[in-house]
C-alpha cells in the first residue's frame, strides 16, 4: 500500500506564526478522492511467478502455493523466508494467496464439517436462523462464533483442526505472534446469490459516510490489523460460486470509500476472477481486496466455507474498563448538561470518552446487524437515549439488555 503523501515544507519559514496549512485531501479520503481510471491503473498489475520463489503457480493473477512450501518450514530461517514472501504477496503483490491442500488430511476436514453441520441443525431445532451481512436470515446457513462453539461442543475435532501449520504460518507472517482467531461458518445453498463486492473488517463494515470520518492513515493501517481467510470444507467448483476477487485492488488507497461507488461495483462485476477450490484448500487475503461470494448455480452443492478472521493482538486498549457502569453513572449528569444548554458536540465528547463506540467484538447470534453492517454500539445507544429524553431507569434496562446480547453463549 502506498503511504499518504508527506507534507511539503517551504524552503523558507513562513512570515506569520503558526503551522502552514496543508490541503485537507492529503489527510482525508472522500468520494471526491475516488476515480475509476486511477483504480483501473492499480488493478492492472500483473502477478509474475518469477517474483515469488516459493509459489507453484499463478492462476488468474492469484498466487498458488502447494505442498512444496511445507518442505521449507522445518527451520526458523527458512520459515521466515517463506513468511517474508507471503508478506510481499499480501502487500505489494496480488493481495491473495491460495494454499492447495492446506489441510492434507481431508478426514480432519470431514470431521469438522460434520461438527459444523451438527451446530447448524441445533440452531434450526432451536428456531434460530443465522443472520447474514448480505443475505436474508434463513436463505443460507451461518454459524456465528463458530470457534468457541466448536471448541465447547467437540474439543477433539477443534484441536486437530486448528493444529494446522499453514494457518499459523500465514497468521504469524501478517500479524506476528499472539494473534486471535475468530470463525464463522457460511453455507451458501444452491440458488444463493452473489454478494456485492466489498472490502472487509474494519472499515469495510461501515457506510461510506462513516468511513469518511476516519483519517487517511487509518484507512491504510486498518488492513494490517486483520487477515481474512476461508477453508473449503467441500469441493467448490465454479458453478458452486466460490469467492470472487479483484487482485491488487487492496493497493487503491481510497478503496474503503470506492467500493460503495456503483462504477467500481460494475467494474468488479466485469473483471473479477474466480478460482475453484478443493476440499482442504485455503485462501487468505488482505482484507482491503475487493471481493464477494459468488452465486451458487449448482443443483445440489451446499458450499460450506469456514471463514477465518485473524486479528492483531495490538487492537486493544491498555486497561480493562467497565464502560457500561460509566455510561450508567454519567447519564444523569449528561441530562443536566443538556438542560443547562450544553451543545451536541460537548455532549458527544463526553460520550466518546465514556461509552463503547465500536460494535465489535460481540455475539452475532444475539446482537445481529439490523439495518446495517454492524449492531448498535453502546455510544449510539447512549446518545439516542439522551436525544430522545429516555429516563435513567429505561436506559439502565437498555444497557443491560445490550450487554447480555454481547456475551458468549456460556455467559
Structure letter (DSSP) for residue 292: E
- Cell of residue 163, nine digits: 493444529
What structural domains does the chain harbor? Answer: 42-311 (2.60.120.620), 323-406 (no CATH)
Look at the block and give the residue holding cell 443536566. Answer: 336
Taking a C-beta distance cutoff of 8 angstroms, is the pair 398, 390 a contact?
yes
- Cell of residue 266, nine digits: 460494475
Q: Nearest 5°: phi and psi at 224?
A: -75, -5
C-alpha 57/C-alpha 274 separation (Å) is 15
DSSP calls for 172-214: HHHH-SS-EEEEEEEEE-TTPPPPPPB--TTGGGS-HHHHTTS
Nearest CA among 361, 302, 353, 360 for reference residue 330: 353
Contacts of 398 (CB under 8 A, 6+ apart): 381, 385, 390
**What pLDDT sits at residue 101?**
97
Nearest CA among 40, 64, 32, 37 for reference residue 248: 40
C-alpha 86/C-alpha 284 separation (Å) is 10
Taking a C-beta distance cutoff of 8 angstroms, is the pair 146, 404 a contact?
no
Q: Nearest 5°: phi and psi at 367?
A: -110, 65
**Stated pTM of the model:** 0.81
Taking a C-beta distance cutoff of 8 angstroms, is the pair 283, 97 a contact?
yes
| pLDDT, tens only, 97-138 | 999 999 999 999 999 999 999 999 998 888 766 555 445 555
* 10-residue averages of pLDDT along the chain (411 residues): 40 44 73 96 97 98 95 90 98 98 96 95 79 54 88 90 92 91 92 92 91 96 95 97 97 97 97 97 98 94 95 78 86 91 87 77 65 76 92 92 76 55
C-alpha 129/C-alpha 127 separation (Å) is 7
| pLDDT, tens only, 368-384 | 666 566 778 888 899 99
**What pLDDT sits at residue 270?**
97
**What pLDDT sits at residue 360?**
73
Question: Any idea of the CA torsion for 249, 261, 239, 134, to the nearest 10 degrees?
Answer: 110
Pairing status of strand 226-232 against strand 290-292: unpaired
Question: Any idea of the CA torsion for 377, 378, 380, 385, to the nearest 10 degrees?
Answer: 150
Alpha carbon 361 to chain centroid, angstroms: 12
- Cell of residue 216, nine digits: 487517511
Structure letter (DSSP) for residue 22: -
Taking a C-beta distance cutoff of 8 angstroms, is the pair 290, 245 a contact?
yes
C-alpha 206/C-alpha 255 separation (Å) is 12
**What pLDDT sits at residue 137?**
52
Pairing status of strand 282-285 against strand 226-232: antiparallel
Amino acid at each position: 500500500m502506498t503511504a499518504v503523501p508527506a507534507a511539503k515544507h517551504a524552503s523558507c519559514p513562513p512570515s506569520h506564526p503558526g503551522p502552514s496549512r496543508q490541503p485537507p485531501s492529503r489527510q482525508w479520503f472522500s468520494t471526491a478522492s475516488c476515480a475509476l481510471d486511477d483504480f483501473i491503473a492499480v488493478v492492472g498489475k500483473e502477478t509474475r511467478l518469477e517474483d515469488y520463489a516459493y509459489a507453484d503457480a499463478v492462476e488468474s493473477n492469484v498466487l498458488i502455493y502447494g505442498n512444496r512450501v511445507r518442505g521449507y518450514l522445518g527451520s526458523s530461517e527458512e520459515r521466515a523466508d517463506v513468511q517474508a514472501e507471503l508478506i510481499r504477496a499480501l502487500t505489494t503483490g496480488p493481495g491473495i494467496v491460495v494454499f492447495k491442500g492446506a489441510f492434507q488430511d481431508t478426514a480432519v476436514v470431514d470431521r469438522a464439517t460434520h461438527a459444523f453441520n451438527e451446530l447448524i441443525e441445533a440452531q434450526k431445532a432451536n428456531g434460530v436462523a443465522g443472520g447474514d451481512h448480505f443475505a436474508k436470515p434463513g436463505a443460507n446457513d451461518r454459524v456465528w462464533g463458530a470457534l468457541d462453539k466448536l471448541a465447547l461442543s467437540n474439543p477433539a475435532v477443534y484441536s486437530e483442526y486448528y493444529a494446522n501449520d499453514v494457518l499459523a504460518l500465514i497468521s504469524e507472517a501478517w500479524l506476528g505472534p499472539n494473534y486471535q482467531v475468530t470463525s464463522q461458518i457460511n453455507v451458501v445453498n444452491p440458488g444463493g446469490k452473489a454478494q456485492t463486492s466489498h472490502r472487509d473488517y474494519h472499515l469495510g463494515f461501515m457506510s461510506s459516510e462513516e468511513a469518511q470520518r476516519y483519517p487517511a492513515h487509518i484507512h491504510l493501517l486498518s488492513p494490517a490489523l486483520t487477515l481474512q481467510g476461508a477453508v473449503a470444507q467441500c469441493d467448490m467448483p465454479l458453478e458452486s460460486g466460490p469467492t470472487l476477487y479483484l487482485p491488487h485492488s487492496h493497493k487503491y488507497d481510497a478503496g474503503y470509500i470506492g467500493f460503495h461507488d456503483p462504477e467500481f461495483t460494475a467494474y468488479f462485476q466485469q473483471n473479477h476472477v474466480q478460482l475453484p477450490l478443493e476440499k482442504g484448500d485455503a485462501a487468505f487475503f488482505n482484507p482491503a481486496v475487493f471481493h464477494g461470494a459468488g452465486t451458487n448455480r449448482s443443483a445440489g452443492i451446499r458450499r460450506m466455507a469456514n471463514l477465518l478472521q485473524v486479528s492483531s493482538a495490538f487492537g486493544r486498549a491498555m486497561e480493562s474498563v467497565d464502560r457500561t457502569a460509566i455510561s450508567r453513572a454519567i447519564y444523569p449528569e449528561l441530562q443536566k448538561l443538556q438542560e443547562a444548554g450544553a451543545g451536541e458536540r460537548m455532549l458527544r465528547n463526553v460520550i466518546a470518552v465514556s461509552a463503547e463506540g465500536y460494535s465489535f467484538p460481540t455475539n452475532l447470534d444475539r446482537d445481529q446487524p439490523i439495518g446495517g453492517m454492524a449492531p448498535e454500539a453502546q455510544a449510539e445507544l447512549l446518545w439516542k437515549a439522551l436525544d430522545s429524553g429516555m429516563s435513567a431507569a429505561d436506559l439502565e434496562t437498555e444497557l443491560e439488555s445490550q450487554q447480555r446480547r454481547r456475551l458468549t453463549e456460556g455467559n
